[in-house]
């Protein structure tokens, strides 16, 4: 069956038999559509392959078969579990379970919600957590597939189902369709859902690099039947795209931007070299040899960065499991070894010393912090030997443990500040520590923290349990909560914290955009649309919304939201000049300031 036709059948059935009905939703108090939009599913009667799920446009492609029988609507169990999982996002996943040994029995299970719904073909009795409940229709086996009665299944899941003006709405809370703003919002929703355009099939990946003046630079990766072709292009406003020819055999994916130059590794006469393309002069010159990197060495260029006006590079050897990373300083056209690690959790330079933490989550990471003398090369351990540093150790409620590297390190007044935890204590989570490199004594400054920043003489940190932003002084005294909300997708730019927040508390779900200004001690809401992604930098604050008024927005100096692009955004990339972006329905790469 056609993948669009099947959904259209579902809608026709709903609209024919549904009227306006709410089935035992979790909340019986209707919400205005403007408020409910972010946590309901909306599908149009005139289905064009588009639906809104939790406030975000989704292109819904599935060969689901919907059946009408005797005034009832029946849906496949997996469609029901998919929609329920989307609506309960952040509260676990609804799994559809069927076993061949019991071909007439099915279950919908959400382990996080601790809820199980058992249904049986031709039986009007279902069990919710083993409590029997009668249904107005029984599941049916149609053409070998078990189909569930929509109304009763929605009731069991605690969802409401309504339709209005050609739109099907399904959610945990009924919608107040008589609300004054609902009519205007419905028209905008219908306009977006009736858009006949289809997302472009991507035959080539475009990776923005930077913007310099009126020219955008990017990498284009094209896939052919037998090969993958990587090329570098530039596009000047009002002109056609031009391929940039780089000398030798360049490693295109090693390209990175630093101080108005594109750095990259290339092979000249089988010798690895670091080159830089000056974006102002458009000339490419050799910066350094990359020896020991060679065609058969398995090495590739990692990072290129400027530290205290000196150039440093990393060379990676293999993958995380078996490989390692080495840090070098560029001196007189050659690489001078500085330090190595399985993988760097982080490093920071202070005077003639470099502090570095090794990250290897597959082994005991205690004693992973060291100080390197950049003049002599001497390396000595720093910190307590039973502690691991530069690592965020996370404990989940179910007893699971997760590790991620955290490259935040500061040196101030001779002390090193970093995350740390006691490796041998399975209940210890990462917190911010102040370490004296001279004698390796340390002071714990915070409770468990996932991230931190040093601003002046204060340490700001994300509390690992609450997700709130707190601060303390450099001795760990006077702790104070400054943002009493769970902060998600946190960025620090231009002296402020930018972050999203949503009711589910999940960073994968769109939310509202906020700014906290430490100097003023105030929080500001910056978006009037639900935010999918945001970008804070030199030219301002931008965000992408994928709702019923999709596009790219910029927050102006007065806090207003200006719609720069009135179309669906596929990707965005912030530069010092403005935003580079790609569109869902149109090919190419674009720029706006």
What are the pLDDT digits (tens) for 242-261? 999 999 999 998 999 999 99
For 253, counting Cβ atoms within 10 Å of its Cβ (0-12 exposed, 13-18 middle, 19+ buried), the class is middle
Cβ neighbours for 30, distance < 8 A, ≥ 6 positions apart? 173, 174, 175, 176, 177
The pLDDT value recorded for residue 132 is: 95
Domain boundaries, the chain: 3-93+148-193
Residue 34 host element (H or E) = helix 33-36
Instruction: Answer whether 194's CB lies under 8 Å from 48's CB.
Output: yes
Q: How far is CA 394 from the centre of its chain?
A: 18
3-class SS of residue 379: strand
Strand (E) or helix (H) holding 305:
strand 299-307
Candidates 419, 320, 326, 322; CA nearest to 369 is: 419
Please say if the pLDDT value at position 340 is more than 80.
yes
Q: What is the pLDDT of residue 233?
A: 97
Q: Is the pLDDT of residue 357 over 90?
A: yes
Any idea what DSSP says for residue 40?
A: E
Burial 27-48 (b: 16+ CB within 10 A, else e): eeebbbbeebbbbbbbbbbebb
Q: CA 544, CA 85: separation in Å to the nearest integer?
A: 24
User: How many whole angstroms from its chain centre is CA 489?
Assistant: 8
Q: What is the phi-psi region of residue 54: left when phi exceeds 0, alpha when psi lies from -120 to 50, beta otherwise?
A: left
Q: What is the pLDDT of residues 396-445, one digit of tens each?
A: 887 889 999 999 999 999 999 999 999 999 999 999 999 999 999 999 99
| DSSP code of residue 137 | S
d(CA 507, CA 516): 18
pLDDT beyond 90 at 568: yes
Residue 495 has pLDDT above 80, yes or no: yes
User: Comparing 84-98, 112-126, 244-258, which segment has the lowest mean pLDDT?
Assistant: 84-98
* Beta pairing, strands 31-32 & 175-176: parallel
Q: Which of 124, 92, 123, 126 is nearest to 107 (CA)?
A: 126
Strands 215-223 and 310-317: unpaired
Q: How many CB atoms lie within 10 A of CB 116?
A: 16
Percentage of the chain modeled with pLDDT above 90: 67
Q: Residue 564: its pLDDT value, please?
A: 99
Beta-strand (E) ranges in 494-537? 496-501, 512-517, 522-525, 533-537
- The whole-number average pLDDT for the span 524-535 is 97
- Rounded distance between C-alpha atoms, residue 217 and residue 301, angstroms: 20
What is the structure's pLDDT at 1? 45
Average pLDDT over residues 160-176: 84
Q: Is residue 179 scored above 90 in pLDDT?
A: no
Going by C-alpha positions, the residue among 21, 34, 36, 52 that lies closest to residue 173 is: 36
From CA 370, how far away is CA 499, in angstroms rounded? 33
Question: Is residue 6 helix, strand or coil?
Answer: helix
pLDDT tops 60 at residue 497: yes
Average pLDDT, the chain: 89
Least confident of 86-100, 508-522, 527-541: 86-100
What is the pTM (predicted TM-score) of this model? 0.86
Per DSSP, 38 falls in state: G
Measured CA angle at 548 (ends 177, 57), to 5 deg:
110
Map tokens 């053409």 to a residue.
Answer: 143
Of the given ranges (87-91, 267-271, 539-543, 556-560), which has the lowest mean pLDDT?
A: 87-91
Under a CB-based contact definition with an 8 Å cutoff, are residues 446 and 472 in contact?
yes
pLDDT band at 35 (very low <50, low <70, confident <90, very high): confident
HSE-CB at 368 with a 13 A cutoff on CA atoms is 28
The Cα 542–Cα 555 span in angstroms is 6
Give dist(CA 522, CA 536) in Å, integer.
18
């Amino acid at each position: 069956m056609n993948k669009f036709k099947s959904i259209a059948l579902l809608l026709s059935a709903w609209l024919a038999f549904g009227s306006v009905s709410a089935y035992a939703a979790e909340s019986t108090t209707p919400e205005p559509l403007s408020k409910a939009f972010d946590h309901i599913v909306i599908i149009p009667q005139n289905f064009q392959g588009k639906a809104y799920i939790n406030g975000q446009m989704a292109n819904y492609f599935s060969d689901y078969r919907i059946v009408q029988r005797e005034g009832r609507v029946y849906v496949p169990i997996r469609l029901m579990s998919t929609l329920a999982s989307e609506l309960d996002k952040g509260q676990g996943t609804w799994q559809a379970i069927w076993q061949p040994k019991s071909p007439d029995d099915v279950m919908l299970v959400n382990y996080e919600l601790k809820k199980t719904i058992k249904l049986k073909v031709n039986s009007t009795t279902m069990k919710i957590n083993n409590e029997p409940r009668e249904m107005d229709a029984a599941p049916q086996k149609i053409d070998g597939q078990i189909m569930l009665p929509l109304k009763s299944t929605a009731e069991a899941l605690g969802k409401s189902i309504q339709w209005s003006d050609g739109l099907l709405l399904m959610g945990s809370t009924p919608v107040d369709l008589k609300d004054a703003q609902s009519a205007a919002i419905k028209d905008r929703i219908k306009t977006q859902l009736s858009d006949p355009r289809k997302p472009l099939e991507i035959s080539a990946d475009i990776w923005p690099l930077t913007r310099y003046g009126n020219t955008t630079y990017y990498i284009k990766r094209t896939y052919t039947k037998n090969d993958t072709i990587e090329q570098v292009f530039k596009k000047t406003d009002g002109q056609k795209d031009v391929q940039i020819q780089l000398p030798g055999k360049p490693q295109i994916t090693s390209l990175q931007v630093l101080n108005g130059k594109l750095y990259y590794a290339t092979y000249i006469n089988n010798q690895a070299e670091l080159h830089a393309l000056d974006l102002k002069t458009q000339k490419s010159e050799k910066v350094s040899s990359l020896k020991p990197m060679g065609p058969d060495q398995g090495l590739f260029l990692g990072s290129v960065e400027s530290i205290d006006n000196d150039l440093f590079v990393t060379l990676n050897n293999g993958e995380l499991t078996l490989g390692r990373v080495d840090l070098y300083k560029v001196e007189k056209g050659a690489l001078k070894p500085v330090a190595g690690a399985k993988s760097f959790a982080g490093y920071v330079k202070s005077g003639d010393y470099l502090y570095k933490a090794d990250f290897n989550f597959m082994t005991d990471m205690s004693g992973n912090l060291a100080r390197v003398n950049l003049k002599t090369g001497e390396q000595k351990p720093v910190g307590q030997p039973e502690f691991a540093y530069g690592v965020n150790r996370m404990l989940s409620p179910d007893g699971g443990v997760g590790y991620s590297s955290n490259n935040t390190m500061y040196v101030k007044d001779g002390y090193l500040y970093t995350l740390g935890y006691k490796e041998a204590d399975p209940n210890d989570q990462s917190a911010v520590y102040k370490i004296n490199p001279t004698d390796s004594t340390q002071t714990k400054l915070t409770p468990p923290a996932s991230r931190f920043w040093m601003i002046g003489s204060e340490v700001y940190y994300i509390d690992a349990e609450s997700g709130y932003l707190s601060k303390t002084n450099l001795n760990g005294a006077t702790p104070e909560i400054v943002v009493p909300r769970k902060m998600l997708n946190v960025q620090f730019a231009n002296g402020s914290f930018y972050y999203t927040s949503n009711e589910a508390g999940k960073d994968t779900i769109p939310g509202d955009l906020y700014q906290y200004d430490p100097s003023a001690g105030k929080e500001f809401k910056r978006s009037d649309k639900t935010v999918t992604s945001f970008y804070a930098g030199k030219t301002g604050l931008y965000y992408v919304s994928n709702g019923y008024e999709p596009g790219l927005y910029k927050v102006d100096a007065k806090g207003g939201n200006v719609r720069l692009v009135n179309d669906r955004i596929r990707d965005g990339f912030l530069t010092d000049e403005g935003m580079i972006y790609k569109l869902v329905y149109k090919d190419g790469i674009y720029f706006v300031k």
